[in-house]
Structure 1
């Protein structure tokens, strides 16, 4: 059972990749956490979601340009290595692994709280640990098992959002029979104007929305474990923008059109639950809790998969212990899955043993990693595209208006990072994230320089 004998599986079908690309960006952040963006910007949160949608779509287009040329489980860490240098591939790969490993306990804790509310007979810590063990088992058996879980998880999330949009649209036009005095779009401007907290509030909301979208890049990792990955990447990327606008922008638009964004209940209950309760939809709390639980399970399933595949890619480049590259006959890197799951379990235990202290500190170290990943993708595409054009290589799937759009994305991300660093609300997390990044880069330079001398 070794890397030379077996290869990563190709168990992901068209429907798996399609649902992963759809469901990858739909997490509990949309169903519940989007209320935080609305609290920052009021109805103008819609603008924050539109801007972030376009930014994420452009980043995905850049990533897909590289992925179509070279499908790879290491994805952007492999491209960063080629474009910027081995230290960059090492650094962004480990930072990305660290981000998703910490997502495992975050989602386990969130799911455990829902289970505890339903079945208080057991402590929430027991539910959290069982949650991790159960979902990680899907990643141990085969890549197809991960795909099946994600397919059904994503399908439920999509159906929930479509149902919300249908009910909300009917309510806006005064056609929802259960709602009284809830119709029209007056709430967009009647409660302190469309942009009550100024243009700066939209930028603050972008910071919240940007992390809600993180996960769409998993498509480029998962596609490497499918047949004909190039066509799947092209198709999914072309549809990303429409899906994001449909699911995120339209949902938030209906929310701020139907309810008063200033309501304390909106923050307390979460976006979807508050709107549906306002519209007198029966069984709202149970339905939303169920959908959020499934969204949490989906995110953890993706976290175990993504962190293990990135660790495998690092190991295959001798930037992680060689043991993590060992595969089963089904093409599963079980040691990489085990290592990622174990770290997630340890962090989960730490949260319950030292509540509100150590785990909160660890979580703060990931505050800016999503934007750093986007920044590295943009720089990698910029450099590799120029090299390929100089060599006269045909590029089958291009980023538009190169290099102007690429530079626009880079400047936007740098501006947001700068705002985070100087903003009192985000300075702590940003400083910790950048501190961890510097430490990882130093390690990357040392490790890759030793490899170079050995070679």
Structure 2
């Protein structure tokens, strides 16, 4: 009966994802390994002020998602938000954004695959990383090749593991606070957050540096929009998924951080150890490290699964927008009998397969770290272009006055663009972030310039 309700799009893809799939994908997209492992580092840099950082960034990411969601609501047949950049900013901007975003996804996938191998080796240290990487990549690629619904099912359970871990930590933490649980660092109480509070306890530079760190923790939140083209009730599901994003951020990020700092005074946190592990160990869970290792393994596998799904759709979008005579269009602008862009998924996974080679050379790993940082910085540029495309959409004939409109558009649109610009500029004042930021600018000028010249040449030829 379920199969009979699945509609097929004109391009051959199937609307197989249900509301529960998309809702959990949306939650999973906001929860990465950064919360489970990196929260201790960000807390020790800014103290309780980290709550302000998460709240501000959560608000602007929500606004960005509302802008992207408004465009998808007007045309839910699209597979990626980059298609709107092509439509409203022109083919050159679309080609630049599409390839830039796809390259960034490949490097994110490589980073997550490396993380997967690291977490698996916690239990089987004798197994070479490259074997673990190939096995995981093969399994997740197969899941994506079979059907969109199977991808959605996998993401549903990956997200469920992360949600259960966070809820467990919050519930245990609240119990410890209510019972005034005694710890080696004092008593669990909410006053640990407000005691001796200062907005910049380690200087304004540390506070500013926290913004890019948290920004990259939120990176990938837009993945949920990429599922809309293959969702059964796209407009209904889209509104629900995006509107609840801010609520999720408040509960899962800010709620978790409040509990952590209530139990362990922020100055007593060990930055190098997961704060989740520290809380569970204080609560008397002897296998805390193993439990959290399983959770972060799930988070990394979830991110990799989403990357394969998203990268495949983006490469397919690039192929369909390419010249009909080009090899990219002929070989990758096609949908398989299963209703997925199989060829585009395979080539994306093929590039991620470079990761096992990286693990054989420390020199390559160093280069990989720099390139990954550059690709992360390029996301800021792509996000900004999506916001600019939204502004063009508002002025176009496609604009739906009764659609899923971005709240306070005249103010919030400009504010979001300016905020992304400020985040990018701040990279130049943070040690270790300036070189990747320069690399992102060079990529934009060189590759963006090439895309523009190619478009101009195409216009002249067609005349």
TM-score where L is the length of structure 1: 0.92
Which residue is equivalent to 1:358? 367
Higher mean Cα deviation, 62-71 or 274-283?
274-283
Paired residue for 2:436, among 429, 432, 455? 429
Give the whole-Å Cα distance in 2 for the aligned partners of 1:375 and 1:28.
25
Note if 1:439 corresponds to 2:446.
Answer: yes
Give the whole-Å Cα distance in 2 for the aligned partners of 1:252 and 1:69.
37
Give the whole-Å Cα distance in 2 for the aligned partners of 1:77 and 1:94.
10
Contact 1:211–1:370 at 8 Å: present in 2 too?
no
Give the RMSD, CA atoms, in angstroms: 2.4
Which residue is equivalent to 1:77? 82
Higher mean Cα deviation, 405-414 or 188-197?
188-197
Contact 1:80–1:380 at 8 Å: present in 2 too?
yes
Higher mean Cα deviation, 186-195 or 284-293?
186-195
Which residue is equivalent to 1:328? 336
Paired residue for 1:86, among 91, 101, 121? 91
Contact 1:72–1:78 at 8 Å: present in 2 too?
no
| Residue correspondences, number | 450
Which residue is equivalent to 2:388? 379
Write out aligned runs for 1:7-46 (5 A).
7-46=12-51
CA deviation string 1:299-333 (max 9, x = no partner): 00001111110110111111781111122111111
Which residue is equivalent to 2:218? 213
Give the whole-Å Cα distance in 2 for the aligned partners of 1:360 and 1:216.
22
Paired residue for 1:416, among 415, 419, 423? 423
Give the whole-Å Cα distance in 2 for the aligned partners of 1:279 and 1:161.
14
Write out aligned runs for 1:169-248 (5 A).
169-174=174-179, 181-190=186-195, 193=198, 195-248=200-253
With over 3 angstroms needed to count, the CA separation of the structure-2 counterparts of 1:409 and 1:5, relative to structure 1, is: closer
Contact 2:188–2:264 at 8 Å: present in 1 too?
no
CA deviation string 1:3-56 (max 9, x = no partner): 999611222111111111111111111111122221221121111111111011
TM-score where L is the length of structure 2: 0.91
Q: Which stretches in structure 2 are left out of the alignment for 5+ residues? A: 1-7
Give the whole-Å Cα distance in 2 for the aligned partners of 1:301 and 1:338.
13
Note if 1:292 corresponds to 2:296.
Answer: yes
- Cα distance, 1:282 vs structure 2: 3.2
- Cα distance, 1:189 vs structure 2: 4.1
Look up the SS of the partner of 2:110 in the other structure.
helix
Contact 1:71–1:220 at 8 Å: present in 2 too?
no
Look up the SS of the partner of 2:354 in the other structure.
helix
Give the whole-Å Cα distance in 1 for the aligned partners of 2:100 and 2:248.
28
Paired residue for 1:339, among 338, 347, 350? 347
Q: Which stretches in structure 1 are left out of the alignment for 5+ residues? A: none
- Cα distance, 1:178 vs structure 2: 8.9
Contact 1:94–1:440 at 8 Å: present in 2 too?
no
Paired residue for 1:136, among 116, 137, 141? 141
Write out aligned runs for 1:159-174 (5 A).
159-174=164-179
Which residue is equivalent to 2:279? 275
Give the whole-Å Cα distance in 2 for the aligned partners of 1:422 and 1:195.
17
